[in-house]
Amino acid sequence: MENNIYFTQLKGHLVGLTDEEREDVLDFYREYASDAGLTGETLIREFGTPKQLARRVLVDYSIRYDDVADQDAPEENETPVHHFRERIGRQFNLLWVVLVGLVTSVVWIPAMILILLGLFIVIVIAVFLIMLLLVFLATGLFQVVGAVAIIGTSWQTALYQGGIGLILIGLQFIAWPIGFAIVRVIFGGLMNFVKYIGRKFSRKQEGGTKHA
């Protein structure tokens, strides 16, 4: 494969990068290939196919972008909820880019399976906590409604039952933030692992070179 064809295909696979970023990537690899005298099959042996190289570059750029974005303070008119949604969306995009990159080589399939397993565990824990908290909320409401229904016949029982219900309802204000924090910590651990795998994948693959 001639070098100009290789780099033309590489440019086509660099979806999501700006024109300036694409040119920076192409300039870097063209210069490296020229200095090392890489052409044809030697170029592919060093970098992999254009698609494989593009996946590694996209993973690297996604990790860098997420690292920089995490350090940026929210904009003045940005609400915490909007900032959180943007962060989650950005990290799920990074997760997807890494998974797509790992698929290009069977060597990374075990790592991909571990990431998917970790994501499954996060989802299961989140769903379990939500369901548990909703059950406690429903139980509290049921206790309060029941207390109102029997207040005329047994005010002592109604007072006890209503108190239990109000306690369960009140605990929601503490339980939801705690549950959210638990899921956030677990998901953060997963994303740290994703970045670790992504960095190893993007910088070294079967004897290939590191890239900018």
Q: What pLDDT is attached to residue 203? A: 80
101-132 per-position pLDDT tens digit: 998 888 899 999 999 999 999 999 999 999 99
Q: Is 154 left (phi over 0), alpha (psi -120 to 50) or beta?
A: beta
- How far is Cα 186 from Cα 200, in angstroms, rounded to an integer? 22
- How far is Cα 30 from Cα 39, in angstroms, rounded to an integer? 10
Whose structure tokens read 């660099």?
14
Sign of the dihedral defined by the CA atoms of residues 133, 138, 144, 150, in that order: negative
Q: How many helices (H) and strands (E) does the chain have?
A: 8, 0
Taking the C-alpha atoms of 102, 46, 66 and 72 in order, what is their torsion angle to the nearest 10 degrees?
A: 170
210: confidence class by pLDDT, cuts 50, 70, 90? very low
Q: What pLDDT is attached to residue 72? A: 66
Q: Which residues, 6 or more positions from 49, have their beta carbon under 8 angstroms from its beta carbon?
A: none
| CB-CB contact of 18 with 195 (8 Å) | no
CA nearest neighbour of 22 among 34, 13, 31: 13
CA nearest neighbour of 112 among 125, 96, 92, 124: 96
pLDDT exceeds cutoff 70 at 205: no
pLDDT exceeds cutoff 80 at 187: yes
Burial class (CB in 10 A: 0-12, 13-18, 19+), 133: middle
Q: What pLDDT is attached to residue 46? A: 86
For residue 181, how far is the Cα from the chain centroid? 16
Q: What pLDDT is attached to residue 207? A: 41
Burial class (CB in 10 A: 0-12, 13-18, 19+), 50: buried
pLDDT exceeds cutoff 70 at 204: no
Q: What pLDDT is attached to residue 127? A: 97
61-107 per-position pLDDT tens digit: 999 988 888 776 566 676 777 777 888 889 999 999 999 999 888 88
Q: What is the average per-residue pLDDT within 173-185?
A: 94
pLDDT exceeds cutoff 60 at 1: no
Q: What pLDDT is attached to residue 76? A: 66
State the distance between the two ends of the chain, measured CA to CA, in whole angstroms.
23
Q: What is the average per-residue pLDDT within 4-33?
A: 90
Q: Is 35 left (phi over 0), alpha (psi -120 to 50) or beta?
A: alpha
pLDDT exceeds cutoff 80 at 212: no
1 C-beta neighbours (distance < 10 Å), count? 13
pTM above 0.75, yes or no: yes
